[in-house]
């Protein structure tokens, strides 16, 4: 199961109905590698309730204009995570009427969804994303081998791909001190 399959899994195992029966109204989904994430954030929940949104996501400002991270934006009028390869120089510097950048909100893997949004997302077939990766393996002699080049494809779905099936989402920009992804830190040597 890939992470985007969580919606269908919750439905098929009866968990959505159990949560509804227990009066659950909001679900918090986060990445496990962010050691600074505020798991219980009453301000985030309060604003989401006040704005009557179905989906809310935290973001941080992308300070380096052309750094290779994906950003929140709208594709075909719906909320999406846009791959950095698709962000042109024009989009990088695009602003709204108040001078705020339109494509500089990074996804910090912190999302609030209503139970109804979770149920709706369970009906979607999310797209698979393919990446070519370098994976360690056991060779014919039974020895661990670390390849020098990419040697396998990984196919996965993402939680945020469901967001594009909704009309809007609330972005809640936080300070960068709420984001320290361990995976990214371990790649830096």
- The CB density around residue 86, as the number of other CB atoms within 10 Å, is 13
Give the domains, in start order, of the chain with CATH numbers. 3-187 (3.90.550.10)
Residue 137 has pLDDT above 80, yes or no: yes
pLDDT for the residue 155: 85
**126 in Cβ contact with 161 (< 8 Å):** yes
pLDDT of residue 2: 52
How much of the chain is in helix, strand and coil states, percent to nearest 5? 30, 30, 40
- CA atoms 153, 106, 31, 36: torsion sign: positive
Beta bridge partners of 29: 111
DSSP secondary structure string, 131-180? Answer: EEE---EE-TTS-EE--SS--EEEEE--GGGGGGGSS--EEEE--GGG--
What CA–CA distance (Å, rounded) separates 18 from 64? 44
Give the residue among 80, 169, 170, 172 at the shortest CA–CA distance from 129. Answer: 80
**First-residue to last-residue Cα distance in the chain:** 31
Higher pLDDT, 168 or 187: 168
Contact 71, 62 (CB under 8 A): yes
Q: What is the pLDDT of residue 188?
A: 43
Residue 181 has pLDDT above 80, yes or no: no
The reported pLDDT for the residue numbered 183 is 66
CA distance 71 to 60: 10
Lowest mean pLDDT among 57-61, 175-179, 181-185: 181-185
Task: Please state the pTM of the whole predicted model.
Answer: 0.81
pLDDT digits (tens, 9 = 90+) for 68-111: 888 998 888 899 988 888 888 888 888 889 988 888 899 888 99
Q: What is the DSSP letter of 3?
A: G
Report which secondary-structure segment, H or E, holds 5.
Answer: none
């Amino acid at each position: 199961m890939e992470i985007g399959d969580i919606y269908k899994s919750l439905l098929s195992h009866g968990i959505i109905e159990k949560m509804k029966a227990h009066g659950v109204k909001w679900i918090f989904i986060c990445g496990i590698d962010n050691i600074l994430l505020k798991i219980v954030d009453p301000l985030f929940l309060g604003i989401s309730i006040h704005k009557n949104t179905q989906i809310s996501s935290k973001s941080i400002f992308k300070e380096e204009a052309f750094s290779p991270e994906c950003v929140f934006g709208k594709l075909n009028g719906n909320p999406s995570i846009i791959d950095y390869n698709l962000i042109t120089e024009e989009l990088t510097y695009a602003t709204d009427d108040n001078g705020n950048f339109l494509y500089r909100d990074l996804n910090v893997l912190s999302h609030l969804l209503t139970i109804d949004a979770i149920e709706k997302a369970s009906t979607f077939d999310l797209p698979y994303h393919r990446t070519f990766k370098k994976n360690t393996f056991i060779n014919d002699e039974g020895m661990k081998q670390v390849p020098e080049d990419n040697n396998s494809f990984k196919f996965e779905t993402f939680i945020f791909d469901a967001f594009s099936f909704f009309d809007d989402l609330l972005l809640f920009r936080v300070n960068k001190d709420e984001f320290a992804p361990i995976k990214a830190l371990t790649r830096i040597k």
